[in-house]
Structure 1
Amino acid sequence: MTEPSRTSLSYRDAGVDIDAGDQLVENIKPFARRTMRPEVLAGIGGFGGLVEISKKYREPVLVSGTDGVGTKLKLAFELNRHDTVGIDLVAMSVNDILVQGAEPLFFLDYFACGKLDVTTATEVIKGIAHGCEQAGCALIGGETAEMPGMYPAGEYDLAGFAVGVVEKSQIITGESIQPGDVVLGLASNGAHSNGYSLIRKVLHLAEADFTATFDGDRSLAEVVMAPTRIYVKPMLKLMANLPVKGMAHITGGGITENIPRVLPEHCVAQIDAASWQLPKLFQWLQQAGNIASQEMYRTFNCGIGMAVVVAAEHAEEAIRQLTAEGETVYRIGHVRLRDSNEHQTQVA
């Protein structure tokens, strides 16, 4: 057994640069500051973030959600595009808590890497702050973990969670959904943050050229890295004006596996696939990967990022209001009675 080195070692010698971490905190403070809400008492820099609940709620209920970005990050590394994955991170959590009627209050992130690249990390967290601005929630803190040997050079992982609040009497559960209700679909920005293990496999098999013009004036790289759309502000405004019976964020599991999560047992969502045009990205993936249609619908959002269930008499007004807020909205189906053990979402 050799004697231990008598050389004075530092944390930096072990691969952790505290100064770089401090610089990152300073870099992100201006972006986080733009996301602040009146309820935030203490944000970035402390051991914990302090947020009070607004007095406008009589019976406030906290709603929380957590998620990551998944293997879409592998494309971010390959393409050296780090400015939008932070938006994806926020979107995956705030859209999830939105479906229960919650207004997102604050968000925290976890950024883990083997060696901290301050420039890259700043781009990522700048995107997180931008996503928080879109959602109207405050970025009050997070964690940057530099762990030598845990990640390959140039790679990192992301996780985050959001906390929102909803009046107890206004929680959206889907219990009031009944046959005859209408299912609306809000357009997605692309594949969002789901199905990327399959997307990457198709891209590899097709030997795709990321620089080639793919959709209009956008390159394939721009299309596959388009950030997840955040539906918070338009939907909160709609919910303040009209009764919304149910919502489903179309994430992993696609259309067929997410809509049932909000339906009563006796109901089926009958989705008309012809009611919207399959975006070019999904057309190409299906053709290049020889993917069956039903596999497409249970893997990808296929152009529908959020499903919204309303009473038939409110459907047209909901479409009008959401369109006025900048959303592209389709009337994609209706709710009907369920036959025995059939799957709760049928796409045809």
Structure 2
Amino acid sequence: MSDSAKRSQAYTAAGVDIEAGNQFVSRIKDMVKSTFTPGVATDIGGFGGLFKPEIAGMEAPMLVAGADGVGTKLKLAFMFDRHDTVGIDLVAMSVNDVLVQGAQPLFFLDYFATGKLESGVAEQVVSGVCEGCRQSDCALLGGETAEMPGFYPDGEYDLSGFAVGMVDTPKMVTGKDVAPGDVIIGLASSGAHSNGWSLIRKLYDESGLKADDTFPGTEKTVAEVLIEPTRLYVKPVLKLLEAVTVKGMVHVTGGGFYDNIPRILPEQVAARIEFGSWPMLPIFDWIKEQGDLSWPEMLQIFNCGIGYIVIVSAEEADKALDMLDARDDVDSYRIGEIVESEKAAEQCEVLFP
């Protein structure tokens, strides 16, 4: 037994294995380093991560930060014993928020907490975090692994994290210039992302479906459809920002269309959405049918196939759509327009056929 192991016997007897934690950190070092960008100025294992941002050419650099978790979608990871995608969800929920104001995500930090550290599971989770960071050119700068015996049920864990990005203040996307006649472009989601899972899990439990069954309307298994990770919009949106003037952006998360779109609109305008102007993913048809929900109810809870929204002038709409259509990492659709609105009126109107 090593001297370190001898010194920590009492803590190990209480359920916290310091040696296992140290070995876990050692095993994930190469994965974490694969996310490092030129601004990273430290190795993992320090008390704080160091990052030196490149600010040359910026008039007034502004930091933008966002924090989030994965929510009860984690229950499906436990149920299906599939842990390599929830880390992508974790990164996406924060970096997509930071992106809304036009910021390039710089770095991400994660927090993984469990009752007993199972290194194989934890490594799968971190592999997903690293993949999410690589997809968004964002460095995994550090994090925390907490082993807390008796605090979590056996085999379960919780995740949270936050991202920090940067934008030049004159180029910040605020929504203040959104005006009647502007075009609303929707970027396709990959599924339900990380919202509404308490309801989805309830419907799944009631459905009688099994993990290996074919999900209705698809050729994928139930587990594959339900655990599909949140799409990252960083790369296509940042490229779009270089070419056109984007007036406003929305990350469609909890609260769906009705709560998220008004968050970035001036008081005098509203969003008019043409329902049916984008294809509906099978998971949302299934949720609606299984839960006996209306489409307005669905749009209040879920992204319903549109995970991110950009608003541009009518003059630049075709250019924006052409740029997005040329990419192979996201589909885009013209889903509505901005109209005049009275101050007291609802700021998101969905027109159904």
Residue in structure 1 matched with residue 147 of structure 2 by the alignment:
146
Residue in structure 1 matched with residue 346 of structure 2 by the alignment:
343
Residue in structure 2 matched with residue 168 of structure 1 by the alignment:
169
Q: Distance in 2 between matches of 1:246 and 1:28?
A: 38
Cα RMSD over matched residues? 1.1
Unaligned stretches of 5+ residues in structure 2: 1-7
Deviates more, 1:127-136 or 1:204-213: 204-213
Residue in structure 2 matched with residue 322 of structure 1 by the alignment:
324
Unaligned stretches of 5+ residues in structure 1: 1-7
Residue in structure 1 matched with residue 97 of structure 2 by the alignment:
96
Residue in structure 1 matched with residue 294 of structure 2 by the alignment:
292
Q: Distance in 1 between matches of 2:43 and 2:265?
A: 38
Deviates more, 1:237-246 or 1:19-28: 19-28
Deviates more, 1:85-94 or 1:292-301: 292-301
SS of 1:245's partner is strand
Q: Distance in 2 between matches of 1:256 and 1:209?
A: 33
Deviates more, 1:323-332 or 1:296-305: 323-332
- Which stretches of structure 1, 4 residues or more, deviate above 3 A after TM superposition? none
TM-score (norm 2): 0.95
Q: Distance in 2 between matches of 1:259 and 1:43?
A: 40
Q: Quick one: percent identity of the two aligned structures?
A: 54
Q: Cα distance, 1:92 vs. partner?
A: 0.2
- Report whether the alignment pairs 1:51 with 2:51: yes
SS of 1:10's partner is helix
- Report whether the alignment pairs 1:331 with 2:334: yes
- Indicate if the aligned counterparts of 1:43 and 1:139 stay in contact, CA closer than 8 A: no
Deviations 1:126-180, CA, capped at 9 Å, x for gaps: 1000000000000010000000111000000000000000001111100010000
Residue in structure 2 matched with residue 29 of structure 1 by the alignment:
29
- Indicate if the aligned counterparts of 2:218 and 2:282 stay in contact, CA closer than 8 A: no
Q: Distance in 2 between matches of 1:141 and 1:153?
A: 26
- Indicate if the aligned counterparts of 1:104 and 1:162 stay in contact, CA closer than 8 A: yes
TM-score (norm 1): 0.96
How many residues are matched? 341
Q: Distance in 1 between matches of 2:160 and 2:62?
A: 24
Residue in structure 1 matched with residue 238 of structure 2 by the alignment:
236
Q: How does 1:207-246 map to 2 (within 5 A)?
A: 207-214=208-215, 215-246=217-248
Q: Cα distance, 1:217 vs. partner?
A: 2.5
Residue in structure 1 matched with residue 121 of structure 2 by the alignment:
120
Paired amino acid for 2:265:
L
Q: Cα distance, 1:10 vs. partner?
A: 1.1
Deviates more, 1:158-167 or 1:255-264: 255-264
Q: Distance in 2 between matches of 1:108 and 1:23?
A: 20
SS of 2:59's partner is coil
SS of 1:201's partner is helix
Deviates more, 1:91-100 or 1:21-30: 21-30
- Indicate if the aligned counterparts of 1:178 and 1:336 stay in contact, CA closer than 8 A: yes
- Indicate if the aligned counterparts of 1:114 and 1:152 stay in contact, CA closer than 8 A: yes
Deviations 1:100-119, CA, capped at 9 Å, x for gaps: 00000000000000000000
Residue in structure 1 matched with residue 109 of structure 2 by the alignment:
108
